[in-house]
Structure 1
Amino acid sequence: MTTRSTKCHLGWKGCVFLMCLGMSSVYIWVTRSTETRSKVKMTPCRPFHAHCRDLLAPNDDPTEWHRRDCRIKSYITNSKVDCSNLRKDLHFITSPLSAEEEAYPLAFILTVHKELEVLVRLLRAIYAPQNLYCVHIDAKSPPEYRNSLRKLSDCLENVFLSTRSETVVYGGFSRLQADLNCMGDLVKSKVGWRKVINLCGQDYPLMSNLELVRYLQDKMWRDKNMTPGIKQPEHIKWRTQFQHNESHVYFVQSKVKKGPPPHNMQIFFGTAYYALTRGFVDFVLENPKARDLLEWSRDTYSPDEHYWVTLNHLTEAPGNNIGGGWTGGIRAIKWADQFRTKHKACNGRYVRGICVYGFEDLPWLIKKGSMFANKFENDFQPEALDCLEQWHRNKLLSNANVPIESSWLLATPREMAP
């Protein structure tokens, strides 16, 4: 029997070339096979809560939604983020959804220090290319947190980090100063934003951008600032009657009494959250009375809960809302001390007297009809935010007056899912 041998007739250089080419082909095949197997083994997106369909598809609609997005944090923390793909991969809205929204750009101030994934989900929910976003990162936040948000802002031309960061202390003047830092940056922008709204990183919108625009332009609020609050109650006056000393980690009340407010101002008490006209922001940054109240407030407790609402009761303040009271549905919050009077239960857990929402809180939030809900955590009952996020995106896209791009979808009907 004759043994047949295979010979290379291309010379030794040609043979070596063919061998290297073959080995390269095998390497590529193995690498791709490994990547494919890795993708197959990746943890699939968390499914929606069993009862989420009742919120997403009422009236007995049998549609089942399949989440497409479950890698936000790993994507943002990746050192090789590609800006050309980021907006698409993270499902940001890349075009104004209506002429009405484009004609009324909003500005947002986001004061953040943790919960990176919740923050990114918040940002993409409120994001529109005609708006402007200032992100204030607590100076004591980890470098990797700041770096991740810097990469994100570098890829979104209308999102920027504040030029000055404060070491924010709960209840301290630093929290108020953080907002003022962003306001100083926002007024320098060429974007003609009409009103500014401030948020924290654990908020989530209950209104779409179109609904916000319409709400802020309705008869009650068209030329008005929204700073819910009332005359300072007796049991709150200790906040401004005594000096408080702020360190980098805590706030201590002293026994030293403060002098009266400047210009005989009546001090009001309200929320730290607002929707302000551009004229009012200019007033805050430039008016002597506003500056004097700011200096007087430096050693008060939680000055952001009296500063905005007090200035909004000055007759000379643009967009003032004298006698506005608690009107303005800025936040849906379940306070622990309002159990049974304002809400029936917190179905999540309380942190500093505020409910971190669980899934069973969603019907209350949706019915409440406020602008935003506070608050959510990524590692506590995340199914609540999953469902609310999809409910919000469905509403946002259902009112769009432009063609819907596939990358804007956070989830797809199961029969369409890849």
Structure 2
Amino acid sequence: MGDPKCTRPRCLATLIVVAVTSVFLCYYFLKVDLVSVMSEKVTNFDRSKYLIPKDAYDERVSIAVNTAPKFTYVAPNYTYVAPNYTYVAPENLTETLKRIASMHKVPSVNCHALFKDSQRDIEYARNKTKNITSPISDLAYLSLTADCRAFVTSRGYILSPLTKEEEDFPLAFSILTFKDVEMVERLLKAIYRPQNYYCIHVDKKSPDSFYQSVASIAKCFPNVFIASRRIDVQWGWFSVLEPELECMKELWRYPKWKYFFTLTGQEFPLKTNFELVKILTVYDGANDIEGTIKRANKERFRTAPPLGITPIKGSVHITVNRDFVGYILFNKTAEALLEWAKNNVSIPDETYFATLNHNPQLGVRGAYKGVPETDEDGKPFLTRFKNWGSYKCSGGQYVRSICILTLGDLPLLGKVKHYFANKFYLSEDRVVIGCLEEKIFNDTRDEYLGVKTFDTSYYANLSFVKNKV
């Protein structure tokens, strides 16, 4: 055997080998650990931990590993942390729905009487409107959502599709927000189902506290996300339309949904998810988009549209089938029309969608083939209820000529055929939202129990349903 003593060259060589090996091992394990952590935070959703249909989960996984979509996707500018809770499907949905409905009973107010136009109850409720429930500050949501399981339970979210019909007919929503987290959260809660998809756009000029609070809510649900790109929305400019297009791009990544709704944070549903699905089923691809030529502000169109298209005035509020969204995202004619609207139209958000839907020669699925004139009898616009002065405005307050809806408007809101209503200020009247919320959850419970039915004959016979591309 040789000399066991460590000569200088031998020791030096040994130290080099040990050092190189140590660096390699540290790098390897650090890399593996980092990949594991990032995978857990961003893409590795365990379907056993969420009450969401298997196909919806598989969509999310396939998106992460398959080829990127045709449009440019920008990663969110916030750190997403995978929820660390387990949602368990309730064993008894009947009792769960009864509990959730009871949670939304407005204290000290008879909402049923308000919907029935009881003037005595309306006056009584007006005297209590500021004291019905305590407002929740924006920053409070950071604490409320620290434990997501406790949050969804305490706030009364419905974590089941409830019916096979609803499960097989997922919906997609964009929600444009800029203030009042509580109003946004109550809207989300009223329309939330695990099979649906929700894109929330937070205005770029909103305070960071508002953004973080909304993001904290979104992180509690695998099918709710914040739009990747934030836009400074200015009324009357292309920036009003832009967030809707961004949400369309991001929602397109989930191929199961059937219809798309545009919402804002100052709106509330007048129909349950079940009723929306029943309505859209009989629509069979028809789009509900406002449109007019006679009442269009011709001075808004500085040039003629391309390709002989007729310009139509309408609304940014739309209810459209998935193919309509696909046409916007990938069709060259839609792209040319968008460039025209962006550069040659005042208030382009009131032109783009309406023009696509009322030029049937373009072949957009669900487009209207009749005369593009929205009116209450012939071609009603049901996507959104707004009181422009056609009805008495109970609170007497208008913003941009739209009545701010209050508890005195509940009798009207309980009768109209529309899907959503605009506009509400929670800081002004908490009873109107409380009673609408109570009604939505009571109706959802009763539909599940089979004691409330919904007649779709009115919607099946609408002109834009019978006369579509």
Would you say 1:225 and 2:294 are equivalent positions? no
* Partner residue in 2 for 1:162: 227
1:84 positional shift: 2.2
Which residue, out of 201, 205, 213, partners 2:269?
205
Question: What is the DSSP-based 3-state SS (H/G/I as helix, E as strand, rest coil) of the residue aligned with 1:229?
Answer: coil
Question: Aligned residue for 1:298?
Answer: 342
1:270 aligned to 291, 314, 337, which one?
A: 314
Where does residue 258 of structure 2 map in the other structure?
Answer: 194
Matches of 2:105 and 2:326, distance apart in 1: 45
| Deviations 1:130-187, CA, capped at 9 Å, x for gaps | 1000011111111011101111111111000111111100111011111000000011
* TM-score, scaled to structure 1: 0.73
SS at match of 1:400: helix
Q: How does 1:3-42 map to 2 (within 5 A)?
A: none
Shift of 1:58: 11
Q: Would you say the 8 A contact 1:69–1:90 is kept in 2?
A: no
What do you get for the CA RMSD once the two structures are aligned? 2.5
Instruction: Tell me which residue corresponds to 2:151.
Output: 86
User: How far did residue 312 of structure 1 move?
Assistant: 1.1
Counterpart amino acid of 1:233?
Answer: R
Aligned: 1:334 with 2:387: yes
Which residue of the partner structure matches residue 113 of structure 2? 54
- Amino acid paired to 2:315: T
8 Å contact from structure 1 (residues 55, 391) kept in 2: no
Gapped regions of structure 2 (runs ≥ 5) = 1-103, 119-130, 375-379, 451-469
Give the 3 Å change call, closer, same or farther, for CA 328–233 of structure 1 in structure 2: closer
In structure 2, what is the equivalent of residue 252 of structure 1? none
The one-letter code sitting in structure 1 at the alignment partner of 2:171 is: L
Partner Cα separation in structure 1 for residue 132 and residue 168 of structure 2? 32
Q: Please state if 1:179 is matched with 2:224.
A: no
The residue type equivalent to 1:305 in the other structure is: E
Range with bigger deviation, 345-354 or 49-58: 49-58
1:328: Cα distance to partner? 3.5
Q: CA deviation at 1:203?
A: 0.5
Deviation, 1:52, is 2.4
Aligned residue in 2 for 1:237: 298
CA drift at 1:113: 0.6
Indicate how the Cα distance of structure 1 residues 206 and 387 shifts in structure 2: closer, same or farther if over 3 A, else same: same
Give the 5 Å matches for 1:282-293: 282-293=326-337
Q: C-alpha deviations, 1:62-121, integer Å up to 9, x for none?
A: xxxxx9975654641328611122211211111111111111000001011112111111
Query: How far has the Cα of 1:282 moved from its partner?
Result: 0.7
Is 2:107 the partner of 1:107?
no
Letter in 2 for 1:372: F
Which residue does 2:435 correspond to in 1?
387
Whether the 8 Å contact between 2:132 and 2:430 is mirrored in structure 1 is: no
Amino acid at match of 1:175: V
Q: Match for 1:347: what amino acid?
A: G
Counterpart residue number, 1:7: none
Query: More helix per residue: 1 or 2?
Result: 2
Q: In structure 2, do the counterparts of structure 1 residues 227 and 269 end up closer, same or farther at CA, with 3 Å as the change threshold?
A: same
TM-score w.r.t. length of structure 2? 0.65
Change (3 A) 1:126 1:56: same
The equivalences for 1:65-76 within 5 A come to 70=134, 72-73=136-137, 75-76=140-141
Task: Give 1:304's aligned amino acid.
Answer: D
Task: State the match for 1:318 in structure 2.
Answer: 365
User: Residues of 1 paired with 2:294 and 2:263: CA distance?
Assistant: 23
Equivalent of 2:183, from 118, 130, 139? 118
Distance change >3 Å, CA 233–CA 47, structure 1 → 2: closer
One of 143, 164, 177 as aligned partner of 2:208 = 143
Question: CA shift at 1:396, angstroms?
Answer: 1.5
Q: More strand per residue: 1 or 2?
A: 1
Distance of aligned partners of 1:398 and 1:75 in 2 relative to their CA distance in 1, 3 Å threshold: farther
Kept after mapping to 2: 8 A contact 1:261/1:293:
yes
Tell me which residue corresponds to 1:376. 424
Aligned-residue offset at 1:280: 1.0
CA 1:401 to 1:158, structure 2 compared with 1: closer, same or farther past 3 Å? farther
Which whole-Å CA distance do the structure 1 matches of 2:144 and 2:184 have between them? 19
In the superposition, relative to structure 1, how do residues 160 and 68 fare at CA in structure 2: closer, same or farther (>3 Å)? farther
Alpha-carbon contact 2:145-2:220 (below 8 Å) kept: no
- Structure 1 residue 398 corresponds to structure 2 residue 446: yes
Runs of at least 5 residues in structure 1 that lack an aligned partner in the other structure:
1-44, 60-66, 242-258, 403-418
**2: distance between equivalents of 1:303 and 1:395?**
37
List per-residue Cα deviations over 1:248-287 (Å, max 9, x = no partner): xxxxxxxxxxx32111210011121111111111111111
Note if contact 1:240-1:301 (Cα within 8 Å) is conserved in structure 2. Answer: yes
Matched AA of 1:329: L
Partner of 1:41 in structure 2?
none
Match for 2:353: what amino acid?
W
The one-letter code matched in structure 1 to 2:176 is: T
Aligned counterparts of 2:189 and 2:387: Cα–Cα separation in 1: 24
SS state of the match for residue 134, structure 1?
Answer: strand
Q: 1:92/1:79 Cα in 2 relative to 1: closer, same or farther (>3 Å)?
A: closer
Whether the aligned pair in 2 keeps the contact of 1:171 and 1:303 (CA below 8 Å) is yes
How far residue 53 of structure 1 moved from its aligned partner, in angstroms, is 4.1
Cα distance change, pair 286–101 in 1 and its aligned pair in 2 (3 A): same
Within the candidate set 341, 345, 353, 2:401 is matched to: 353
CA 1:49–1:351: 2 relative to 1, 3 Å: farther
Say which SS state the counterpart of residue 260 (structure 1) adopts: coil
Closer/same/farther in 2, CA of residues 369 and 49 from structure 1, 3 Å limit: farther
How many positions carry a matched residue from both structures? 325
The alpha-carbon deviation at position 389 of structure 1 amounts to 1.1
Q: Quick one: distance in 2 between partners of 1:380 and 1:161?
A: 27
- What is the CA distance between 1:57 and its match in structure 2? 9.5
